[in-house]
Structure 1
Amino acid sequence: MAMPAGAKRERRARLDEDGEEELVDRISRLPDDVLGNIVSFLPTVAGARTQGPGRRFCTEFSYFDPGDRSATLDGWLRSPALNNLQELKFDLSFIPYQASPPLLPASVHRFSSTLRAASFGGCAFPEGNGASPLHLPLLKQLSLLNVRISETSFNALLAACPALQSLLLGYIMGCSRVQIVSQSLRSIGLLHTYCNLQQLIIKDAPYLERFFEGSAMEVTVSVVSAPKLHVLALHSAYNLRHDVGSTTFQFRRTVFQRSCIPSSKTVVHSMKVIALTQPDLCLDMVINLLKCFPCLEKLYIETHKAGKKNTWCRQKYKNLIGTLEIRLKKIVLTNYRGNRSHFNFAKFFVLNARMLQSMRLELFDQNPRSTEIDRRRGRSTEIDRQRGRLLQIKKASRDILDVVAKNSCSLMLSIAFAEQVHDLSIADPFVKLHNWK
């Protein structure tokens, strides 16, 4: 059937309009943040060639990439598409202890007035009279990972970031001591330090709230002034030594000096949340922890072994109960085995932590899927058995006790460490990552 003349004209008009629309640059109409995200997903070379304004640039080189990595990255960062860059993350991937690591690209300086988040990896900060110090007045997040930087350069960099809120340090070379003086920092994180760093001094940080130690390491941490510090994470806490009248805490080889506490020389009242990895679950150590931090409200512990004897019914604990006020409201114990040691540990707090609102016990080596299959088949699961055993304790309540299969994430999961350090959106940095409500 032939198409009527009027319909033909109408169809031709639509085709003409569609043809014109095809010529319109719809991509350029997108918001700047959307364009920046699109560019970030492109291959590095293609992204650097785009004319859309980039807000975030992220790249990582391989150890085997040929040529001068610093010069290559420097060329990319000079692209006009990155004129107003707000987030920069790169890793030049030099081999540790390499004689001449790639230098920090000079083009980084051109983002001084726009950068708000930066992660510099696998590079060296220029030294000497010819070195031009970075000035980043808007920077809020900074990560230095596998970098070589002198103490002088580090102090200058920190002073040039007056708005900095979170700092992550890992694999630091070139200096044996780092000193923190900042009127804006709220969170500090330390990762592995197999190199030169031996001492971290938090000299003056009036707004510091969180300190994370992400791995077993031999670094002395001295807190001179951090009156608002209330979240502490320690990867390995083999022993806590608390000497009455002393001004030091020792978690393995990590030392805290408490001269910043004017009202008391023996305790720290500001601490509210502590997360630690303790190979052998030890009640004595936790009791000492509560003596040091009497206002502690949340305690997260990841353990890996059967635990100490934990016979808490001894006379020394009976005498202690009348003098020690336990203010803990929440306890999470990961890798709970249900043996005598772990059971007595849990029992102590069920009976003596009068303000306890939640005790979560994540069972060792329990597969959530297998547990669900057992339940469907009417079998008694290990979770059911352990919960029933704990509920026989006087004062134990179903509303408080929560026995579950182990969370897939461990307490100090390193892959999420940067997020814990930099995410300041919630008061408790462990709830969001592990669904611990």
Structure 2
Amino acid sequence: MEEAAAAPAMRAPKRHRSDYQQVPPGGGGSGGGEGLDDLDLISGLPDAVLGTIVSLLPTKDGARTQVLSRRWLPLWRSHMAPLNLVADRHLSDNQSRAAVVSKILSDHPGPARRFSLHIISLRGFRAKVPTWFRSDTLNGLQELEVTNLHNKRYPLPRRSLTRFAPTLRLLKLGSCYRLRVLGIAVPSFPHLKQLILYKVCISEKSLECLISSCVALESVSLQSVGFSRLCISSQTLRCINLHALRSKGGELVIEDAPCLERLLPDFPKDGPPTIRVISAPKLEILGFLSKGISTLDLGTMVFQKMVAVSLTTKMQTMKVLSLNIGANLDYVVDFLKCFPCLEKLYVILHDGKDINSMWKHEPLDSIECLELHLKKVVLKNYKRSFIDFAKFFILNAKVLKEMEIRDLSRESEKSMCYQLRELQVEYRASRDAQIVLRSDTIARPTNYGHTYDLSMADPFDSPFCGCDKCVTYI
């Protein structure tokens, strides 16, 4: 009897997870003797953590987590998982999309993290939009994206921006060149960090006021937005991205931007033709620059059609530069002289009447970045006629770590090896440099759909991902 009474005390202790949290009931699988590898460790996380995971998933996937187990069933419809609603072609077909959006907004109690709406031309869809914007589920909305795919003018509901302004962190109005915000007074966005305008009709005065009044703004992306003269002043702005601007004779002036790190005119041949930087003491990433910029004024450094006309000072902060100016070595060397601390250089090569691939001027000892700082060079659209251009960096960049030469010709591996020998890699100035010649699949700069993404340390240092953002630029 004594042994029987002592038996319960001798049972094995309850198993605990490695982080000292008790395994939840049913979290260990079907049997009582399973190993730690069979445990459902994710379901043991706190509700707040699981809710964050659900909120970051695509809309369909987030809703499907309800069928995983009783543990996950209530999460998607709870305040622990702020709604991430993306109403596009991935959510449902066009015929049923309005009903699906209405159902989700009625089922989820809120708050909402993100609402991304693609407005389509089906009858009755647009009529529901104002009702959706008034839904209590969207309380506390942090990210608002409105994309008008309708071929007729569509006014953004007048009060929607004002309602969401106190909590928005991202505002994107895109693919909707008939979307009008001219009649709406510019509200205050105290927490807005990212502003993306794509084919939006907005006055210069309203845009300047919007940018300067956002006290937390970090990134502005203007795509197919027209202006004649835009002056930007912001104490918090870190990135300005410009793409295919509808500007004839337009001018961009950076008057006062003490935190600006990136100035990215992706395809400046579409505008603005004049860029003046008056005050941006932390600017370190610049590009893509091309001859589409008739005047580039960086303080006392002035370039006209990418030709240096005044180089009285140097910009010590510049670390990354991307050029789309062909294979003219004179132009490139002028930029190297302006930016003595440059660490990465991207050059998009192409044929033209002013090709100059050989250096025939003064010695290069005065170019500080070649001596001390330039560690990476990437050449796109390379062909054999540009061999002297590539050799210039191989033979003169003394601290080079990596050189990537991308060739569109799709030549054989044997031909690639022969070209490497022609480049005289064995005589490279930096013995640590890795010289790589590889085939490329796209002639334009890669990753241009994400250049305004501040989470990327180098916006030019990623391959073409093929996502919707990048494909729209091709």
Is the shorter-chain TM-score for this pair beyond 0.5, marking a shared fold? yes
- The offset of 1:202, in angstroms, is 0.8
Partner of 2:22: none
- The offset of 1:398, in angstroms, is 7.5
Partner of 1:112: 165
The superposition leaves residues 222-271 of structure 1 with CA deviations (integer Å, 9 ceiling, x where unpaired) of 11110000100125347998999954223459x99x9xxxxx94322211
- The offset of 1:335, in angstroms, is 1.7
Identical aligned pairs, as a percentage? 34
Residue 147 of structure 2 corresponds to residue 91 of structure 1:
yes
Residue number among 185, 192, 198 corresponding to 1:139 in the alignment? 192
| CA 1:282–1:81: 2 relative to 1, 3 Å | same
What TM-score, normalized by structure 1, do the two folds share? Answer: 0.75
Residue 383 of structure 2 corresponds to residue 344 of structure 1:
no
* SS in structure 2 at match of 1:322: coil
Q: How many residues align?
A: 378
- The offset of 1:126, in angstroms, is 3.2
Partner of 2:320: 273
Distance 1:148 1:243 in 2: 28
User: Contact 2:238–2:261 at 8 Å: present in 1 too?
Assistant: yes
- The offset of 1:35, in angstroms, is 5.9
Aligned Cα root-mean-square deviation (Å): 3.6
What TM-score, normalized by structure 2, do the two folds share? Answer: 0.70
| CA 1:271–1:243: 2 relative to 1, 3 Å | closer
Give the structure, 1 or 2, with the largest relative contact order (CA under 8 Å, sep 6 or more): 1
Distance 1:332 1:144 in 2: 30
The AA in structure 2 aligned to 1:81 is T
Partner of 1:76: 132
Distance 1:124 1:345 in 2: 48
* SS in structure 1 at match of 2:270: coil
The AA in structure 1 aligned to 2:358 is T
5+ unaligned residues in a row in structure 1: which ranges? 1-20, 259-263, 372-379
Residue number among 313, 334, 337 corresponding to 1:291 in the alignment? 337
User: Contact 1:333–1:362 at 8 Å: present in 2 too?
Assistant: yes
5+ unaligned residues in a row in structure 2: which ranges? 1-66, 466-474
Distance 1:93 1:397 in 2: 52
- The offset of 1:429, in angstroms, is 1.6
* SS in structure 2 at match of 1:29: coil
Counterparts in 2 of 1:30-429, with a 5 A limit? 30=76, 36-37=83-84, 42-43=91-92, 44-45=97-98, 46-50=100-104, 51-52=107-108, 53=110, 54-62=112-120, 64=121, 69=126, 72-93=128-149, 102-103=155-156, 105-121=158-174, 122=176, 123-127=179-183, 131-173=184-226, 175-195=227-247, 198-215=250-267, 216-219=269-272, 220-234=274-288, 236-237=290-291, 247-251=301-305, 265-278=312-325, 280-305=326-351, 308-312=355-359, 314=360, 316=361, 319-325=362-368, 326=370, 327-339=373-385, 342-366=386-410, 371=412, 381-391=414-424, 394-395=427-428, 399-410=432-443, 412-413=445-446, 416-421=447-452, 423-429=453-459
User: Contact 1:244–1:266 at 8 Å: present in 2 too?
Assistant: no
- The offset of 1:214, in angstroms, is 1.6
* SS in structure 2 at match of 1:354: coil
Partner of 1:10: none
- The offset of 1:277, in angstroms, is 1.9
| CA 1:242–1:177: 2 relative to 1, 3 Å | closer
| CA 1:338–1:141: 2 relative to 1, 3 Å | same
Distance 1:295 1:353 in 2: 13
* SS in structure 2 at match of 1:202: strand
| CA 1:242–1:101: 2 relative to 1, 3 Å | closer
| CA 1:24–1:108: 2 relative to 1, 3 Å | farther
Distance 1:42 1:110 in 2: 25
